[in-house]
Amino acid sequence: MVRRTKFAIVEAFNTLIERKPFEDISVVDIAREADVSKATFYRYFKDKYDVMNYNYKHMLDEAIDAPSITNYRDLYARLFSLGETKLRRISGALRSQGANSFESYIYAYSRSKVEEITRANRQGAGLSPAEDLQLDVFCYGISYMYKEWIKGHYDVTVDEAADKLFEMMPATLRAYWA
């Protein structure tokens, strides 16, 4: 029941974000669309940003855990492929602005996952100061590039985007995959 309710809330948000701008969506709208109370909504999510970000977290975590994904290049291809199939939803979320924007979340969560994968494969050792800086620049670049690709500003295929991002990834981190 818990999973089904959470899924209903997420799907309600996804339906709404395809129909209207993010700033026009309220928690009440999401709860109504999901056919749950506002209190039930707050049992699962703290606000509409939390639901929006959950979509990306779920998408990235599932991609990382998929048996067919064995390296970062495959991961990038999967994320861009999902971007194509969920274009309206992701495009709507990327229009969110400010400190809680979807683009900011893509950067922060992606960065944390790369660092987590690297640490796990280095038996807990962290990033060097140079790698830390490289990872920041790379993850900011990816989140910006993903947004621009979703908006149609780059005329590259999923595979071309994945290949280029993999080439640009800091070499010292590229080989660390769970």
Is the pLDDT score of 178 beyond 50? no
Domain 2-44 top-level CATH class: mainly alpha
Looking at residue 3, its pLDDT comes to 85
Query: Hey, what are 70's tokens?
Result: 């064995």
Q: What is the dihedral of CA 140, 144, 149, 155, to 10 degrees?
A: -80
C-alpha closest to that of 15 among 88, 106, 70, 94: 88
Looking at residue 87, its pLDDT comes to 87
Tell me how far apart the alpha carbons of residues 66 and 61 are, in angstroms, rounded to a whole number.
9
Is the pLDDT score of 1 beyond 70? no
**What are the extents of the domains in the chain?**
2-44, 56-174
Summarize pLDDT for 42-77 with one digit per residue, the tens. 999 999 999 999 999 999 999 999 999 989 999 999
Summarize pLDDT for 148-159 with one digit per residue, the tens. 999 899 999 999
